[in-house]
Structure 1
Amino acid sequence: MKKIVQHPKLIIGIILVVTLVLGFQIPNIVIDNDVKNYFPEDHPSNIRMEELDDIFSGQVMMAISVTNDEGTIFTPEVIDAVSNLVEAIEPMAHVEDVDALTNSDFPTGTVDGMAVGPLVWDDFDNSPEAFATLKEHLLEWPQMYRRALFSDDFTSTQLIVSIEEGLPSEEMSVIYKNVEDDIAKQKELHEGLTFRLAGDPVIFERAKDYMYSDLGHLVPVVILVVLLCLYFSFRRIRGTLLPLIAVTISTIWTIGIMALFGVKFTVVSTCLPVLLIAVGSAYGIHMMNHYYAEIAGKEGKVSFDEHRALVTASSAHVAKPILLAGFTTIVGFASVTTSPIVPLKQFGIFAAVGSAIALLLSLTFIPAILVVSPPKQRKHEEKQHKAEEGEGTLMKIYGALSRRHWKIIFISLVVVGVSLWGLLRLDIQSALLDYFPSHSTMRVDTDYISDKFGGTTTFSAVVRADEGKSIIDPELLKSMDDLSLHLQEHHPEIGKIISFTDFIKRMNQIMNYPPATVEATSPETGTESGQGSDQGFGMDSFFDDDTSLANEPAATAEASDDGFGSFFDDAEPGGEAEAAAATADTHEAGQDPTEKYNYDTYSTEMTYRDFLALLEDAISKRAGYTMSVDELVKGIEKGFNYKGADYYEIPYDPAKYPVASREELGNLVSQYLLLYSGSLDDYANDPLDPDIARMLIQLKTHKTSDTDAVIKDINTYVAKHFPEGYRVECTGVAEMEKTLTDMVISSQLVSLFAALLIVFVIVAISYRSLAAGIFGIIPLSMAILVNFGIMGITGIRLDMVTSIIASIAIGIGVDYTIHFLDNYHHERLASDDLELVTRNTILLSGQAIIINAVSVALGFLVLTLSSFVVLRYIGLLVAIIMITSSLAAMTILPVLLNIFKPAFISRPANIKRPGAETSGKEE
Structure 2
Amino acid sequence: MRTTLVNLSMNRPKWVFWGVLLLTLIAGLQIPSIQVDTDPENMLPADNPARIFHDHVKERFGLHDMIVVGVVNDTAQGIYNPQSLSELHQLADAIVQMDGVVSQDLMSLDRVDNISQEGPGSIRFEWMMKQVPQDQAGIDQIRTSVERLPLLNNTLVSGDGKAAGIYVPIVKKSESYRISGLIQTEIEKLSGNNQYYISGLPVAEDTFGVEMFVQMAISAPLAGLMIFALMWVFFRSLLLITAPMLVAMASVIITMGLLIGQGYTVHIMSSMIPIFLMPIAVVDSVHILSEFADRHRPGEDPKTAVKAVLGHLFTPMLYTSVTSAVGFASLAFTPIPPVQVFGLHVAFGIMLAFLLTITLVPAYIISLSPQRMAQMKDHNIDEDDNSLLGRLLIFIGRFSIARAKGLLAFFVLIVVGSVYGVAQIQINDNPVRWFKQDHPLRVADKVMNHHFPGTYNAFLVLDKTSDLRSGLQQQLTARAAQEGVDLQALLASVNNDSFIEYTNGLINLFDQRSYDDSDHETLWLELLDITEQAQVGSKYFLTPPALQYVDQLQAFLDQSDYIGKSNSFPTQLKTVYRELNGGADDQYKLPPTAAAAAQTVLSFQGSHRPDDLWHMVTPNYRSTVLWLQLSSGDNQDMSKVLSLVDGYVADHPLPEGVELNWAGLTYINVVWQDEMVNGMLNSLIGAFFMVLLIMVLLFRSVKIGLLSMLPLTVTILFIYGMIGLIGKDYDMPIAVLSALTLGLSVDFAIHFLERTRAIYRQCGNWEQTVADVYRGPSRAISRNAVVVAVGFTPLLFAPLVPYITVGFFLAAIMAVSAVVTVMLLPAVMSMIKDKDGLFGVKSPKESES
| Bin of the TM-score, shorter chain as denominator length | 0.7 to 0.9
Please name the residue that 1:648 is paired with: 588
**Partners in 1 of 2:187 and 2:206 — Cα distance?**
16
Q: What amino acid is aligned across from residue 10 of structure 2 in structure 1? A: V
Unaligned runs of 5+ in 1: 514-642, 653-664, 910-923
Alpha-carbon shift at residue 161 of structure 1 (Å): 0.7
Query: Is 1:90 equivalent to 2:96 in the alignment?
Result: yes
Please name the residue that 1:599 is paired with: none
How much is the aligned-residue C-alpha RMSD, in angstroms? Answer: 2.4
Please name the residue that 1:487 is paired with: 557
- Secondary structure in structure 2 of the residue aligned to 1:801: helix
The C-alpha deviation readout for 1:827-847, integer Å capped at 9, x for no partner, is: 343455433333333333111
Say which one has the larger Rg: 1
Q: What amino acid is aligned across from residue 90 of structure 1 in structure 2? A: V
**Partners in 2 of 1:130 and 1:351 — Cα distance?**
64
The C-alpha deviation readout for 1:787-811, integer Å capped at 9, x for no partner, is: 0111112121110111122211111
**Partners in 2 of 1:649 and 1:829 — Cα distance?**
88
Alpha-carbon shift at residue 124 of structure 1 (Å): 5.8
Q: What amino acid is aligned across from residue 907 of structure 1 in structure 2? A: G
**Partners in 2 of 1:244 and 1:301 — Cα distance?**
27
Please name the residue that 1:861 is paired with: 793
Alpha-carbon shift at residue 121 of structure 1 (Å): 5.1
Please name the residue that 1:474 is paired with: 544
Task: Report 1:190-229 matches (<5 A).
Answer: 190-229=191-230
Please name the residue that 2:780 is paired with: 848
Alpha-carbon shift at residue 122 of structure 1 (Å): 4.0
Structure-2 change in CA distance of 1:328 and 1:46 (3 Å): same
Deviates further, 796-805 or 175-184: 175-184
CA contact under 8 A between 1:72 and 1:156: conserved in structure 2? yes
Question: Where has structure 1 moved over 6 Å in runs of 4 or more?
Answer: none
Alpha-carbon shift at residue 285 of structure 1 (Å): 0.8
Give the structure-2-normalised TM-score: 0.84
Query: Is 1:147 equivalent to 2:146 in the alignment?
Result: no
Please name the residue that 2:54 is paired with: 49
Alpha-carbon shift at residue 310 of structure 1 (Å): 4.3
Task: Report 1:377-456 matches (<5 A).
Answer: 382=377, 386-390=381-385, 391-456=390-455
- Secondary structure in structure 2 of the residue aligned to 1:74: coil
**Partners in 1 of 2:142 and 2:270 — Cα distance?**
50
Task: Report 1:163-202 matches (<5 A).
Answer: 163-165=170-172, 167=173, 169=174, 171-185=175-189, 187=190, 190-202=191-203
CA contact under 8 A between 2:37 and 2:265: conserved in structure 1? yes
Structure-2 change in CA distance of 1:457 and 1:337 (3 Å): same
Alpha-carbon shift at residue 771 of structure 1 (Å): 3.4
Query: Is 1:37 equivalent to 2:69 in the alignment?
Result: no
- Secondary structure in structure 2 of the residue aligned to 1:413: helix
Alpha-carbon shift at residue 412 of structure 1 (Å): 0.6
- Secondary structure in structure 1 of the residue aligned to 2:426: coil
CA contact under 8 A between 1:246 and 1:365: conserved in structure 2? yes
Structure-2 change in CA distance of 1:337 and 1:797 (3 Å): same
Q: What amino acid is aligned across from residue 412 of structure 1 in structure 2? A: F
**Partners in 1 of 2:335 and 2:55 — Cα distance?**
19
Query: Is 1:503 equivalent to 2:572 in the alignment?
Result: yes
**Partners in 1 of 2:290 and 2:107 — Cα distance?**
66
Structure-2 change in CA distance of 1:183 and 1:897 (3 Å): same
Please name the residue that 2:146 is paired with: 138
- Aligned with residue 818 of structure 1, among 743, 750, 772: 750
Query: Is 1:739 equivalent to 2:671 in the alignment?
Result: yes
CA contact under 8 A between 2:712 and 2:745: conserved in structure 1? yes
CA contact under 8 A between 2:61 and 2:618: conserved in structure 1? no
Please name the residue that 1:162 is paired with: 169
Alpha-carbon shift at residue 125 of structure 1 (Å): 4.5
Please name the residue that 1:289 is paired with: 290
The C-alpha deviation readout for 1:555-596, integer Å capped at 9, x for no partner, is: xxxxxxxxxxxxxxxxxxxxxxxxxxxxxxxxxxxxxxxxxx
CA contact under 8 A between 2:9 and 2:359: conserved in structure 1? yes
Task: Report 1:494-573 matches (<5 A).
Answer: 494-513=563-582
CA contact under 8 A between 1:211 and 1:270: conserved in structure 2? yes
Please name the residue that 1:675 is paired with: 603
**Partners in 2 of 1:121 and 1:422 — Cα distance?**
56
Please name the residue that 1:237 is paired with: 238
Alpha-carbon shift at residue 430 of structure 1 (Å): 1.3
Q: What amino acid is aligned across from residue 667 of structure 1 in structure 2? A: A
The C-alpha deviation readout for 1:179-230, integer Å capped at 9, x for no partner, is: 2222222x2xx32222111001221233234324423432232122211232
Task: Report 1:859-898 matches (<5 A).
Answer: 859-898=791-830
Task: Report 1:598-747 matches (<5 A).
Answer: 643-652=583-592, 665-677=593-605, 678-687=610-619, 689-721=620-652, 722-747=654-679
Task: Report 1:752-831 matches (<5 A).
Answer: 752-830=684-762
The C-alpha deviation readout for 1:677-699, integer Å capped at 9, x for no partner, is: 12245534534x31111101011
Deviates further, 126-135 or 50-59: 126-135
**Partners in 1 of 2:373 and 2:217 — Cα distance?**
41
Please name the residue that 1:327 is paired with: 322
- Secondary structure in structure 2 of the residue aligned to 1:157: strand
**Partners in 1 of 2:335 and 2:837 — Cα distance?**
38
Identity across the alignment (%) = 24
**Partners in 2 of 1:706 and 1:121 — Cα distance?**
36
**Partners in 1 of 2:381 and 2:49 — Cα distance?**
59
The C-alpha deviation readout for 1:894-915, integer Å capped at 9, x for no partner, is: 2222323577633169xxxxxx
The C-alpha deviation readout for 1:584-630, integer Å capped at 9, x for no partner, is: xxxxxxxxxxxxxxxxxxxxxxxxxxxxxxxxxxxxxxxxxxxxxxx
The C-alpha deviation readout for 1:358-389, integer Å capped at 9, x for no partner, is: 22211222222222333326669949954132
CA contact under 8 A between 2:67 and 2:176: conserved in structure 1? no
Alpha-carbon shift at residue 419 of structure 1 (Å): 1.4
Give the structure-1-normalised TM-score: 0.78
The C-alpha deviation readout for 1:156-183, integer Å capped at 9, x for no partner, is: 1100011124x5x3x4433232222222
Deviates further, 77-86 or 321-330: 77-86
Please name the residue that 2:526 is paired with: none
Q: What amino acid is aligned across from residue 804 of structure 2 in structure 1? A: R
- Secondary structure in structure 2 of the residue aligned to 1:110: strand
The C-alpha deviation readout for 1:836-863, integer Å capped at 9, x for no partner, is: 3333333331111111111121123332
Alpha-carbon shift at residue 353 of structure 1 (Å): 2.2
**Partners in 2 of 1:284 and 1:380 — Cα distance?**
18
Query: Is 1:11 equivalent to 2:16 in the alignment?
Result: yes
Please name the residue that 1:301 is paired with: 299
- Secondary structure in structure 2 of the residue aligned to 1:17: helix
CA contact under 8 A between 2:422 and 2:724: conserved in structure 1? yes
Deviates further, 317-326 or 823-832: 823-832
Q: What amino acid is aligned across from residue 584 of structure 2 in structure 1? A: G
- Secondary structure in structure 2 of the residue aligned to 1:94: coil
Deviates further, 755-764 or 467-476: 467-476
CA contact under 8 A between 1:62 and 1:199: conserved in structure 2? yes
Q: What amino acid is aligned across from residue 180 of structure 1 in structure 2? A: Q
**Partners in 2 of 1:818 and 1:358 — Cα distance?**
17
- Secondary structure in structure 2 of the residue aligned to 1:146: coil
**Partners in 2 of 1:866 and 1:333 — Cα distance?**
25
Structure-2 change in CA distance of 1:10 and 1:472 (3 Å): same
Q: What amino acid is aligned across from residue 726 of structure 1 in structure 2? A: V
- Secondary structure in structure 1 of the residue aligned to 2:63: coil
Structure-2 change in CA distance of 1:125 and 1:235 (3 Å): closer
Q: What amino acid is aligned across from residue 363 of structure 1 in structure 2? A: I
Alpha-carbon shift at residue 116 of structure 1 (Å): 5.2
CA contact under 8 A between 1:718 and 1:728: conserved in structure 2? no
The structure in which a higher percent of residues are helix is: 2
Please name the residue that 1:907 is paired with: 840
CA contact under 8 A between 1:116 and 1:676: conserved in structure 2? no
**Partners in 2 of 1:360 and 1:777 — Cα distance?**
25
Query: Is 1:117 equivalent to 2:118 in the alignment?
Result: no
